[in-house]
Amino acid sequence: MSTRVHTTERLTVSPAGGSAGAYVTGVDLSKANDAEEIAGIRRALLDHLVVALPDQKLSLDDLERFTDALGGRDITPFVRPIEGRPHVIRILKEPHEKLNFANAWHTDLSYLDAPPSFTVLYCLETPSIGGDTVWANQYMAFETLSAGLRDTLLGLNAVHSAGPAYGTGGYLDGVKDKMSTKIEPSKDAYKEQVHPAVIAHAETAKPALYLNPVYTQRIAGWSKAESDGLLGYVFRHSVNENFTWRLKWAKGTLAIWDNRCTQHFALNDYHGQRREMVRTSVKGSKPKAARA
Ligand code: SIN
């Protein structure tokens, strides 16, 4: 990962963390962005995994247009979208609420056959302190395992499902009335999807761990006890502080992250304050194994 500020005629990419994260300035996303700007943002994402563009003034039309330019908007299952905007969800915690959305390490929608490549999150309101988001670099998580465990994981597949989180009778069904983010539990969430434990990133081809504690249920073909043992270790290792970058939001910041090589976690440390975001997903492809 480059630590140098990279400036083109059109945009500046300033690395913000040693393991992930960069600020991109010089682009106004409220205007239709040309191919050079979109390519510059995509390049920054491939290099830094998460990018933040401060001081954007966006309508929902702008957000949708930008999402399309990045690769096409996709739906987010099991969260009710904004009225008339089937691809945009609102993530909201009101001052009286105690629970927030995404307060656990995860990779967005890994339970789908073709999970989103990128997630786009735009900040409408943020607490004066707290409410940061943290990302962990999953290339690093893989590289820093022993050769023996890397070799084992390269031969494994894992079963993903949204059931325990979004299924009827699942965790969020039990607490949905305490959250302003509109959760829509469904029996369909229990559907299972198998993905390689280590994927080859669809654009960089680099190997990345693709196991996360919210959606990865077990190693395919292993008993629950065996699986829990290995996954417990890998889940802890994957989010080692050394692999992380933490963003402090401000109103108007838009962040984009690459779900093919990161996990993320939304902190819940701002009780009594309001935080409001809107989110879209960019279409992705079926993850491919790092070992063909
Ligand atoms: C998410 O996981 O999409 C939400 C992240 C956040 O609210 O910071």
What are the residues whose beta carbons fall under 8 Å from the beta carbon of 154, sequence distance 6 or more? 197, 198, 207, 289, 290, 291
- Between the CA of 211 and the centroid of ligand 1 the distance, in Å, is 18
Query: Quick check: is 290 in a domain?
Result: no
Query: Quick check: is 120 in a domain?
Result: yes
DSSP 220: T
Count of residues making up the chain = 292
pLDDT band, residue 79 (cuts 50/70/90): very high
Tell me the CATH number at 233: 3.60.130.10
pLDDT band, residue 8 (cuts 50/70/90): low
CA-closest residue to ligand 1 atom 2: 102
Cα gap 220→228, rounded to integer Å = 12
- Between the CA of 201 and the centroid of ligand 1 the distance, in Å, is 22
Cα gap 10→99, rounded to integer Å = 40
| Total domains, the chain | 1
Query: Quick check: is 1 in a domain?
Result: no
**Scanning the structure block, which residue is given the tokens 């830094």?**
48
pTM of the full structure? 0.96
Query: Quick check: is 163 in a domain?
Result: yes
Residue 133 has pLDDT above 70, yes or no: yes
pLDDT of residue 4: 72
Query: Quick check: is 114 in a domain?
Result: yes
Cα gap 265→125, rounded to integer Å = 18
Cβ of 259 closer than 6 Å to ligand 1, yes or no, is no
Residue 5 has pLDDT above 90, yes or no: no
Mean pLDDT along residues 139-148:
98
What does the block give as tokens for 188?
């369909």
Query: Quick check: is 59 in a domain?
Result: yes
Query: Quick check: is 123 in a domain?
Result: yes
pLDDT of residue 10: 78
Query: Quick check: is 291 in a domain?
Result: no
Residues 169-185 have pLDDT tens digits of 999 999 999 999 999 99
- Between the CA of 132 and the centroid of ligand 1 the distance, in Å, is 9
Whether the CB-CB separation of 214 and 165 falls below 8 Å is answered with: yes
**Scanning the structure block, which residue is given the tokens 């309001």?**
274
Using a 10 angstrom Cβ sphere, with 0-12 exposed, 13-18 middle and 19 or more buried, the burial of residue 273 is: middle
Mean pLDDT along residues 17-26:
97
Residue 190 has pLDDT above 80, yes or no: yes
- Between the CA of 266 and the centroid of ligand 1 the distance, in Å, is 5
Name the residue of 181, 183, 256, 277 to mutate for ligand 1: max ligand atoms within 8 A of Cβ: 277
Expressed as residue numbers, the domain containing 78 is 6-285
pLDDT of residue 3: 72
Whether the CB-CB separation of 209 and 149 falls below 8 Å is answered with: no
